[in-house]
Amino acid sequence: MAHTAAGAQLQIASHSGAEGGSGGGRSSVAPGPASDPVIVARSVTAGYENRRTKTRLIALRDVSLEIQRGEFLAIVGPSGCGKSTFINMVAGFVRPLEGTVEVDGQPVRGTGSDRAMVFQDYALLPWRTVERNVLFAMENRRNKPSKSEQAARVAEALSLVGLTGFEKAYPHELSGGMRQRVGIARALVTKPDILLMDEPFGAVDAMTREAMQAEFERIIAQTRQTVVFITHSIDEAVMLGDRVVVISNRPGTIKEVVDVDLPRPRLTGDAKGSLRFAELREHIWSLLQDEALGAQEAK
Ligand SMILES: Nc1ncnc2c1ncn2[C@@H]1O[C@H](COP(=O)(O)OP(=O)(O)O)[C@@H](O)[C@H]1O
Ligand SMILES: [Mg+2]
């Protein structure tokens, strides 16, 4: 299968890179300043006005968080707790009601080429081929590269997600997992510093999902992008995240930030069978269960 070949390539690439060292988390693999925050939320409250009923719904309350450069931050929390609202503020689609969200020291004022979003529902253009869907991300750029550079970038991004050979296919000809990889290629093609992912693997089946997690772990080891990754799956959060932020029921507040001290690569290793994985999973599960019970009591 195409993605297996690409996976092998990626693994070689990430092993032959300059990282050195085998054990430890990503932070020990990629030495850098101990604290180099790239996304900073300061006492952020966010919500939505309903003009018709003249009411305001508070989605998130007083959230403060620093995300380090090159970090993989996973976010879990009950449905409706404001996870998408948070990532949409970082993307520049939603503005905070109070507080600030900064990227690279500047308050976010809108979307920017330093950030790219991967959506759960793929958001592909059905009338465009795979390569033209990926190209789309570069079309409306101000400083877009030359046509040949664009073609080279599309080819590189498709190779990274294991879709070489499917350039001319249309979305309806692809499986769910492949469509989602087109969505990821589209986010990677502009080489953004920050990848924002809102339940990106939520719509793919369990087996494909594990394969995609493994590929994604390898891709990120290679590109070293900062990733903010929302998921419903505790396993996925622990397998992928350097830290897992657990958010409470709405209005969402940070309940706990859990450090994931499992060595990488995790998906191709035996992290999932380790005692530490089970402990982390259990801990996050109990935090979320409190929230589920809290929501019931509130009814
Ligand atoms: N565009 C919107 N307009 C009004 N309310 C919204 C909008 N988007 C989200 N909400 C509400 O804000 C709350 C948080 O939503 P969201 O951030 O999507 O949560 P999550 O992603 O954690 O499920 C929910 O109650 C949701 O109904
Ligand atoms: Mg959501």
Would you call the peptide bond into 265 cis, given omega within 30 degrees of 0 as the criterion?
yes
pLDDT at 32: 52
CATH node for 2-114+193-298: 3.40.50.300
Would you call the peptide bond into 263 cis, given omega within 30 degrees of 0 as the criterion?
no
Is the pLDDT at 138 greater than 70? The verdict is yes
Which percentage of the chain shows pLDDT scores above 90?
Answer: 68
Ligand 1 close to Cβ of residue 248 (< 6 A) = no
Q: Are 258 and 244 in contact (CB under 8 A)?
A: yes
pLDDT at 299: 63
**Pick from 119, 92, 115: nearest CA to 182:** 119
pLDDT at 95: 96
Is the pLDDT at 33 greater than 80? The verdict is no
pLDDT at 203: 80
pLDDT tens digits, residue range 234-277?
999 999 999 999 999 999 999 999 999 999 999 988 899 999 99
Instruction: Give the helix/strand (H/E) hosting 292.
Output: helix 275-298
Q: The whole model's pTM is what?
A: 0.86
Close Cβ partners of 181 (under 8 Å, ≥ 6 residues apart):
3, 161, 162, 163, 212, 215
Ligand 1 close to Cβ of residue 8 (< 6 A) = no
Q: Whose CA is nearest to atom 20 of ligand 1?
A: 80
Q: Are strands 194-198 and 55-68 parallel, antiparallel or unpaired?
A: unpaired
pLDDT at 251: 95
Walk across the sheet containing 106-107 and list its strands: 55-68, 37-50, 98-103, 106-107
pLDDT tens digits, residue range 199-236?
998 888 888 888 889 988 998 998 899 999 999 999 99
Instruction: Give me the chain's average pLDDT, please.
Output: 87
Ligand 1 close to Cβ of residue 53 (< 6 A) = no
Is the pLDDT at 1 greater than 50? The verdict is no
pLDDT at 23: 39
CA of 67 to the centre of ligand 2 (A): 19
Q: Rounded mean pLDDT of 51-72?
A: 96
Where are the chain's structural domains?
2-114+193-298, 124-191
pLDDT: is 253 or 19 the higher one?
253
pLDDT: is 299 or 80 the higher one?
80
Is the pLDDT at 42 greater than 80? The verdict is yes
CA of 248 to the centre of ligand 2 (A): 14
With the most atoms of ligand 1 within 8 angstroms of its CB, the residue from 51, 84, 230 to mutate is 84
Is the pLDDT at 28 greater than 70? The verdict is no
Q: Are 218 and 261 in contact (CB under 8 A)?
A: no
Ligand 1 close to Cβ of residue 153 (< 6 A) = no
